[in-house]
Amino acid sequence: LYTLAVMGPGPPDRQPAQISRRYSDFERLHRNLQRQFRGPMAAISFPRKRLRRNFTAETIARRSRAFEQFLSHLQAVPELRRAPDLQDFFVLPELRRAQSLTCTGLYHEALALWANAWRLQTQLGTPLGPDRPLLTLAGLAVCHQELENPGEARACCERALQLLGDKNPHPLLAPFLEAHVRLSWRLGLDKRQTEARLQALQEAGLTPTPPPSLKELLIKEELD
């Protein structure tokens, strides 16, 4: 396993996101990108696999530096930086593992993975769209609720509602509104605006009454 620390723009003491990937993961990424982007990938080198002395300290250190250069070169080319396969390489395994742990009730372990996935997405700074960040915020909110951190859960809902804006009817909008109302009531905070927005969705027939919970949607979501 090769451990990667991902640092985005911001203060130098900002906590990096960390992921671990195998040689086969890098190789699959390289192969997929070569197939889709022959021109830009022609100038990007990839460390070959050795049949002998494959696990010596010297080989691993050299390969680590080569992988760092490989990913840096990919990030430097806008066309490659936005490629779905590169985004999947960084984020998708973490999201799948976090979802699995959440579904089995291992909320402490899941929370750490959701938080790491959120750092990955914010520090990479090139999300394919709002859905994965929204799913990550849903995972964070669910885990914080289950671990009796209502203030943190409410903050995740507020961030998600900012991302959603006026996107009616996004499948996650009503669940985030419902969770925000319930958490605001629990914390003794104003919930009138969120409550009115949720009621308007229900009266327009855009969501059932009551809407599905964030946890229900999180369990049903298929991560491709």
CATH class of 91-220: mainly alpha
Residue type, 165: G
Average pLDDT over residues 187-214: 92
Spatial distance between the Cα atoms of 89 and 84, rounded to a whole number of angstroms: 9
Token readout for 113 is: 């993975």
Can you give the pLDDT at residue 30?
96
Q: pLDDT class for 83, splitting at 50, 70, 90?
A: very high
Q: What is the pLDDT of residue 16?
A: 85
Whether the pLDDT of residue 12 is over 80: the answer is no
Largest CA-CA distance found in the chain, in angstroms, rounded: 68
Listed in sequence order, the residues at least 6 apart from 8 whose beta carbon sits closer than 8 Å to its beta carbon are 14, 122, 123, 124, 125
pTM of the full predicted structure?
0.89
User: 14 pLDDT band (50/70/90 cuts)?
Assistant: confident
pLDDT at 223: 81
* Segments of the chain assigned E as strands: 2-6, 17-21
* The pLDDT value given to residue 189: 96
Residue entry with tokens 């799948």:
96
State the Cα–Cα distance between residues 61 and 78, nearest whole angstrom.
28
Taking the C-alpha atoms of residue 124 and residue 134, their distance in angstroms, rounded to an integer, is 16
209-216 long-range contacts, Cβ below 8 Å, gap at least 24?
210/178, 211/174, 211/175, 211/177, 211/178, 212/174, 212/175, 213/175, 213/178, 213/179, 214/138, 214/141, 214/142, 214/172, 214/175, 214/176, 214/179, 215/102, 215/142, 216/175
* Tokens 């919970």 belong to residue: 213
pLDDT value of residue 124: 83
Query: pLDDT grade, residue 11 (50/70/90)?
Result: low
192 pLDDT more than 90? yes
pLDDT in tens, 31-57: 999 999 999 999 898 987 765 666 678
CATH 3.30.1520.10 placement within the chain: 2-82
**117-167 pLDDT, tens digit each:** 999 998 887 555 668 999 999 999 999 999 999 999 999 999 999 999 876
The answer to whether 152 touches 144, Cβ cutoff 8 Å, is yes
- Distance between CA atoms of 205 and 107, rounded to whole angstroms? 33
pLDDT attached to residue 103: 93
Tokens of 118: 């959120």
User: What pLDDT, on a 0 to 100 scale, did the predictor assign at position 47?
Assistant: 84
d(CA 26, CA 131): 25
Query: Average of pLDDT values for 12-30?
Result: 88
Domain span(s) for CATH 1.25.40.10 in the chain: 91-220
- The whole-number pLDDT of residue 51 equals 52
CATH superfamily ID and name for 2-82: Phox-like domain (3.30.1520.10)
108 CB-side CA count, 13 A: 0
User: What is the Cα–Cα distance from 213 to 108, expressed in whole angstroms?
Assistant: 20
